Structure 1
Amino acid sequence: MSNANRKVIITCAVTGSAHVPSMSEYLPLTPEDIATQAIEAAEAGAAILHLHARNPSDGRPTPSPAVYRQFVPAIAQATDAVINITTGGSTRMTLDERLAYPRLAKPEMCSLNMGSMNFSLHPIAAKISSWKYDWEKDYVEGMEDMIFRNTFRDIKNILTEFADYGTRFEFECYDVGHLYNLAHFLDLGLLKPPFFIQSVFGILGGLGPDPENMMVMRTTADRLFGRDNYHFSILGAGKHQMSLVTMGAIMGGNVRVGLEDSVYVAKGVKARTNAEQVRKIRGILEALSFEIATPADARQMLGLKGADKVTL
């Protein structure tokens, strides 16, 4: 267990691609809303902003660089938070679509899912009686028969290409096997520490939200990489968000919150903004005597190239 006085990085995932507008009226959809909520989250204490784009007309996930450019530069201008652009996009996008904006922006960080997997929220469809947009119902129900693709070759090509940009990664690991996939690429010489491992719990298709699974991921990462060579972070989906990320911090990890991961801030209470979730976890962490990492701290801890070397 790490020293209680260490600094904890808060990542905020602002909108994502899995949740649909009918799940929460507060989910940011337009470039203006995404920018506003991201900036507020940074002001509340998020050192890293994990960003997806949505079609402003109906909230559908989009890989369009033109849409990204309507909000990412505004966020970068208003805050010094680390900009982290998804390479995951959504299960409906091709790899080239998912990489379209990251290739142009060459950000300090990108997310990278460490394997192909079933990834689904389809059981939620039965709980929604009224859909705001026509595309949503088929999108959510269709997840039952969709696979998120990231083959070994896909991952190798991303790592090789983005090494030329100086971009580092939030390695999203939804299962123990994803840690071994990460170790495989380390063995190939395509990675260098420190790694930022985002352990994901509670997504159907990945590890469940059992606290014991957190210990399995932590100890496995220790064996594969050595604790000094990586930074552990926790993502708890849905109702498991706050309890799991708090436990993760106590175990020596960092935390991720945001409306991509949960639309709630408490049981039965929807989060009106991403900043609400950031403020809540920050309060919990500070009550436990943890210090919150600044963007400068995060850059130093993760070995990032710096915002001045980005073409957002």
Structure 2
Amino acid sequence: MSNINRRVIISCAVTGSAHVPSMSEYLPFTPADIKSQAIEAAEAGAAILHLHARNPEDGRPTPSPEIYREFVPAIANETDAIINITTGGSTRMTLDERLAYPRLAKPEMCSLNMGSMNFSLHPIGAKIASWRYDWEKDYVEGMEDMIFRNTFKDIKNILTEFRDYGTKFEFECYDVGHLYNLAYFIDQGLLKPPFFIQSVFGILGGLGADPENMSVMRSTADRLFGRENYHFSVLGAGRHQMSLVTMGAIMGGNVRVGLEDSVYISKGVKSQSNAEQVRKIRRILEELSFEIASPAEARAMLGLKGADNTSL
């Protein structure tokens, strides 16, 4: 949107499914830790909490509605943040597994990846000297031969089903082609503005973290959708996180941080919590004279149905 007095939405992706516990001792994976870190991130200024679930025994990504219910309702009760439930799950889950909890929760927002891709962190495996749990090594190194499936039919079925729930989406776009995929579904009449586009940079298999790529994504989205019809947000993976999201805000966008996207707070220093990253980007933005959107303001900007209209 083009309002020069706009407020910036901070999203926080609390745990994700790509990073494994061996990458950081601070990565939350028990329901209690996910809950406490999410609440702290909301208190620090995150208007949107992007949530995945993990097996509390070993941190393995899980689609289990029972585990989601151990932390999502508590987060919803203790904050007014927008709860954004993944439909991506992990590359190892079937589509029905990925949708198991979102179908029950009918949240205000879900994430939705806009195309199949070779999403991979496998080069990181060579840098890990010892693994905390026995599943992690095969999981990380196995990404080299995994396809993250999001076919046109998969996406169409999700959009059609969740339209009935009144759920809106964080459209995760890892490449320029994903923007064109989104435009296709808009042309099919499955979506109406405002759209929330999360541009992802720095994941192997998608666009690199070169700053020039941000201009390509922004200008392409302007051509396809018209700037008045969408909200742009930026996710920078790993060491690129803070510099890219700051640049995204300067270019008129919103920002996403969190331990799903980077386990570091600065060069060589592990982030001890999601809130630490939220506080850092909030400080940077406020020093640049941006104002931070509250959850209520974010709901109005994105046209969400409200927390009272969910089954969390």
Give the TM-score band, short-chain normalised: over 0.9
Structure 2 residue 38 is the aligned partner of structure 1 residue 20: no
Secondary structure of the residue that 2:265 maps to in structure 1? strand
Summarize deviations over 1:221-275 as a string: whole Å, max 9, x none: 0000000000000000000000000000000000000000000001111000000
Residue pairs, 1:219-298, within 5 angstroms: 219-298=219-298
Mark the runs of 5 or more structure 2 residues left unpaired by the alignment.
Answer: none
Match of 2:114 in 1: 114
The answer (yes or no) to whether the contact 2:2–2:228 under 8 Å persists in 1 is: no
Residue pairs, 1:121-270, within 5 angstroms: 121-270=121-270
The answer (yes or no) to whether the contact 1:10–1:292 under 8 Å persists in 2 is: yes
- Give the letter for the 2:54 counterpart: R
The answer (yes or no) to whether the contact 1:9–1:298 under 8 Å persists in 2 is: yes
What is the CA-CA distance between 1:4 and the residue it aligns to?
Answer: 5.0
What is the CA-CA distance between 1:3 and the residue it aligns to?
Answer: 5.4
- Give the letter for the 2:242 counterpart: M
The answer (yes or no) to whether the contact 1:9–1:293 under 8 Å persists in 2 is: yes
- Give the letter for the 1:179 counterpart: L
Residue pairs, 1:54-73, within 5 angstroms: 54-73=54-73
Match of 2:93 in 1: 93
Aligned length, in residue pairs = 312
What is the CA-CA distance between 1:173 and the residue it aligns to?
Answer: 0.1
- Normalized against structure 2, the TM-score is what? 0.99
- State the Cα RMSD in Å: 0.8
Mapped to 2, the partners of 1:5 and 1:87 lie a distance apart of: 32
What is the CA-CA distance between 1:289 and the residue it aligns to?
Answer: 0.3
Residue pairs, 1:292-307, within 5 angstroms: 292-307=292-307
Mark the runs of 5 or more structure 1 residues left unpaired by the alignment.
Answer: none
The answer (yes or no) to whether the contact 1:22–1:130 under 8 Å persists in 2 is: yes
- Give the letter for the 2:283 counterpart: G
The answer (yes or no) to whether the contact 1:4–1:289 under 8 Å persists in 2 is: no
The answer (yes or no) to whether the contact 1:114–1:172 under 8 Å persists in 2 is: yes
Mapped to 2, the partners of 1:278 and 1:70 lie a distance apart of: 24
Mapped to 1, the partners of 2:310 and 2:194 lie a distance apart of: 20
The answer (yes or no) to whether the contact 1:14–1:260 under 8 Å persists in 2 is: yes
The answer (yes or no) to whether the contact 2:234–2:244 under 8 Å persists in 1 is: yes
Mapped to 1, the partners of 2:310 and 2:191 lie a distance apart of: 20
- Give the letter for the 1:53 counterpart: A
Structure 2 residue 309 is the aligned partner of structure 1 residue 309: yes
Match of 1:50 in 2: 50
Mapped to 1, the partners of 2:123 and 2:266 lie a distance apart of: 21
The answer (yes or no) to whether the contact 1:4–1:290 under 8 Å persists in 2 is: no
Mapped to 2, the partners of 1:4 and 1:213 lie a distance apart of: 23
Summarize deviations over 1:52-81 as a string: whole Å, max 9, x none: 000000000000000000000000000000
- Give the letter for the 2:171 counterpart: F
Mapped to 2, the partners of 1:78 and 1:294 lie a distance apart of: 15
- Percent identical: 87
Match of 2:6 in 1: 6
Secondary structure of the residue that 1:147 maps to in structure 2? coil
Mapped to 2, the partners of 1:5 and 1:123 lie a distance apart of: 42
What is the CA-CA distance between 1:6 and the residue it aligns to?
Answer: 1.6
Summarize deviations over 1:266-286 as a string: whole Å, max 9, x none: 111100000000000000000
Mapped to 1, the partners of 2:148 and 2:228 lie a distance apart of: 31
Secondary structure of the residue that 2:189 maps to in structure 1? coil
The answer (yes or no) to whether the contact 2:2–2:227 under 8 Å persists in 1 is: no
Mapped to 2, the partners of 1:4 and 1:41 lie a distance apart of: 26
Mapped to 2, the partners of 1:5 and 1:35 lie a distance apart of: 33
What is the CA-CA distance between 1:5 and the residue it aligns to?
Answer: 3.2
Give the 4+ runs in structure 1 shifted more than 6 A: none
Secondary structure of the residue that 2:101 maps to in structure 1? helix
Mapped to 1, the partners of 2:148 and 2:102 lie a distance apart of: 18
Secondary structure of the residue that 1:116 maps to in structure 2? coil
The answer (yes or no) to whether the contact 2:125–2:141 under 8 Å persists in 1 is: yes
The answer (yes or no) to whether the contact 1:235–1:244 under 8 Å persists in 2 is: yes
Summarize deviations over 1:143-202 as a string: whole Å, max 9, x none: 000000010000000000000000000000000000000000000000000000000000
Secondary structure of the residue that 1:148 maps to in structure 2? coil
